[in-house]
Amino acid sequence: MIRGPIRGTTRVAAVIGWPVEHSRSPQMFAGAAAAAGLDAVMIPIGVPPESLAQIVGALRAMRALGASVTVPHKLAVAALCDELSPAAHEIGAVNCLRFDGDRLIGHNTDCHGFTDALVAAGFAPGGKRCVILGAGGAARAVAYGLRAAAASALDVIARRPQQVSWTAARPWTADELRDSFARADLVVDATTLALGSGAVAAHQAAPDATHQAVPDATHQAMPAAAPDAMHNTTHQAAPDAAHPAVPGTTPGAMPGAMPDATINALPLDALRDGAWVSTLVYHRRAVLLERASQLGHSTLDGRGMLVHQGARAFALWTGGTTPSAAIIEAMRGALEAALAGT
């Protein structure tokens, strides 16, 4: 995407991560800025963990327009903020920094970005029963968003449920999976399971949205079935998040080691007519979604979540609260162009 020249008046935003070369946020920001007529540019900054405070301090000093935060900094950057939004506070992670005068406000737009994407695709979470596979940080962000959207019930299925303190997780067993799927209106894979043999690469390639783990011990347990409870999320190395045990596979093995057995072990045949299946992977079609689609189910990948969390961040930086349809479409088009290599 071609923009005009950078001037002395051009506002600067940033995306910070380590590494950061994979990020599509600068392209999405450029699309949004062009649609809004905003003279601004987003620069990617690779920030090793030991330099995080220094770089955030520099962004604060230069009164940056805002900053997106990706792995591995979503947890650590929260401690550098003067204030956290309710979502960031509950989730325990920050993916969006807003500079308000001398104050640094940390936000989490991942959670509502996920539910915005669902609604835009035609699935309204209110009153629906949802199942989340995995209990790491990505699952926590998704759970927060679904509860905020008034989902009627939420089953979180984890390999080590006894180690999950932020919700009453269910065990990852063949019987539990089938029982939960049979009741579900929506199944969300918050792991790299859906990719099959591409799991390792995808886990590294899709961190723009939510993948960074929050330690389970950080927050108190809350009943999984409480629809009005607000829960926490954003993922890194939690055992339940990236490498769930599946009947027929070796516990602790990467899902890609046995892609067919791993994915086929999920009882998609138990889903009711009209149930949806979603993943957070955005850079290529997930095997899980292909399987679900073949069975007649509506599916959603992670591109919508990435676009909507970015649109919410852009609105925060530019003085709004809800992103406009024009900004969302501009970001969507920019992302698709970036993924297509154009």
Q: Is 74 an active-site residue?
A: yes
- Residue 217 CB contacts under 8 Å (≥ 6 apart), including other chains: 165
DSSP code of residue 161: G
Identify whether the C-beta of residue 246 lies closer than 8 Å to the C-beta of residue 194: no
Q: How far apart, in Å, are the Cα atoms of 261 and each of 22, 28, 206?
A: 30, 36, 23
d(CA 64, CA 62): 5
Structure tokens at 329: 């479409």
Cα 131 from chain centre: 16
3-state DSSP assignment of residue 135 = coil
- β-strand partners of 42: 13
Among residues 74, 107, 211, 312, which one is catalytic? 74
Total length of the chain: 342
Strands 276-279 and 186-189 turn out to be parallel
Positions marked catalytic: 74
